[in-house]
A and B are shown apart, each in its own frame.
Chain A
Amino acid sequence: MGQALILIALLVVAGHAVAEPIAPTRQQALLHLLKQDCGSCHGLTLKGGLGPPLLPRTLAGKDADALAAVILDGAPGTPMPPWRPFLSPEEARWLVDRLREGVP
């Protein structure tokens, strides 16, 4: 059982390694995109605009994968566009994590 857990942990780590960690320069580019381009609709400080606020308290309790899916594929019937052409799923998920902990 313990061995199985270790194996799973190793696989998870390996899986992330295969997906490649997000390089620091790319992280900067993603934060820039978050502020400047997401900020067009959600506000530069992410407190909302035409789009809803993206603050930790407004995202609390929402499923991280579902949020990443909205980033990647948009929200039909609203102005939220799909960002998949510009972001990998890992990058979308990384942005969700940053939003949930609060972007400085």
Chain B
Amino acid sequence: MRRFAFLLPMLLAATAWAGEPRGTGDLGIVVERAAGRVQVVDTTGRARLATVPDLGDLSHASAVFSRDGRFAYVFGRDGGLTKVDLLEARVVRRIVQAGNSIGGAISQDGRLVAVSNYEPGGVRVFDAGTLDPVADIPTPGSKVVGLVDAPGQRFVFSLFEAGDIWLADLTDPKRPAVTRWTGVGRQPYDALITPDGRFYLAGLFGEDGMALVDLWYPEQGVRRILAGYGRGEAPLPVYKMPHLEGWAFAGRRAFVPAVGRHEILVMDRDTWTEVGRVPVQGQPVFAVGRPDGRQVWVNFAPPDNGTVQVIDTETMAVVKTLAPGPGVLHLEFTPKGEAVWLSVRDADRVDVLDTRTFEPLARLPADKPSGLFFTARAHRIGQ
């Protein structure tokens, strides 16, 4: 009893909102990148629940979630991989697994976490429970980008310098079986996988177009799509690399940011041909579909990073232009999309907006917020 009385205040301090058991389906994290912290947030109460410090250099940090939605795996620029317990608001374990990393993925069965590295390159795979190393897939001379999980206990990723796409099967985690496609295009900079896990697309920085792999038929190799979408126009300068995660589907249409064009490209996902372009205000960075597919929300590279535009996927027109504040870095929808959260870096704020009325629902203070990641990602392929 005495021991219990001693423990109780500690528990209350650690999980100030708890008091009784709670699920994790409406939790998420807000990355405060310069401070090396994450906030644990509640998307139902639209509130910050706790702050977890000491995660290192979180520039360009991203996160994936354990499939029970309790743990976030945060990938930091400094090569750090941190496992955060959202319920207890604490770091379970932190390792520095490389000099410089860019992102990661969690396997289909939730048991393996893979990290893609810039320095020294390659992909390292860890046990999701312990963060002990499991496998190492070096990519000599190349930074790894666009790492995603795929069905069949596989990971897919691209090599920036080499221009390769690699498919690693970790059915036997100690002995990854790697399929390599070389010369898929110049400077793949990011990639995405369709929500069904079938198609992997790498965006190319060094030329117009994307490289496509059909993971149902990997033996068919890599196909080039949207080749020459610039049609000879000189590309505009890109002040922040676009991201391809969270891309949007509406029926047969897929929406992706163009590189060096102030446009969102619209593709038909049966034929993988261009069916339209939506002119937008600047160089798009993220084009994220509302979960129901009716809207695509777009943010921009500097100098247009104070603007967010909303595209109606049926009419392929911009239906709303918002100016939340300077430095809108990321956006994340609630699991069913009634609200969207925006990180407004230079205003030190996270804004929550109603996606039908575009009215603000809440404003939360945050220290230079960047990435926003909600636990609904735990159950999506490729996130």
Contact = CB atoms under 8 A, between A and B. Distances in A.
Interface of A: 32-33, 35-37, 39-41, 43-45, 47-50, 74, 77, 79, 81-82, 85-86
A44 B34 contact: yes
Give the interface centre of A32, A35, A45 by most chain B CB atoms within 10 Å: A45
A49 B77 contact: yes
Given A36-B327, A50-B189, A86-B303, A44 B119 contact: no
Interface in B320-367: 327, 345-346
Interface string B290-315: 00000000000011000000000000
Contacts of A86: 302-303
A43 B33 contact: no
Given A40-B241, A44-B77, A81-B237, A50 B118 contact: yes
B60 A49 contact: yes
A39 B33 CA distance: 11
Contacts of A77: 206
A38 B58 CA distance: 15
A47 B76 CA distance: 13
A80 B143 CA distance: 16
15 contacts: A37-B239, A37-B240, A40-B240, A43-B100, A44-B34, A44-B57, A44-B58, A44-B77, A47-B57, A49-B77, A49-B100, A49-B118, A50-B102, A50-B189, A50-B241
B249 interface: no
B369 to A, nearest CB: 12
B118 A48 contact: yes
Contacts of A35: 34
Given A44-B34, A49-B102, A79-B189, A39 B59 contact: yes
Nearest to A42: B59
A82 B237 CA distance: 7
A43 B77 contact: yes
B200 interface: no
B278 interface: no
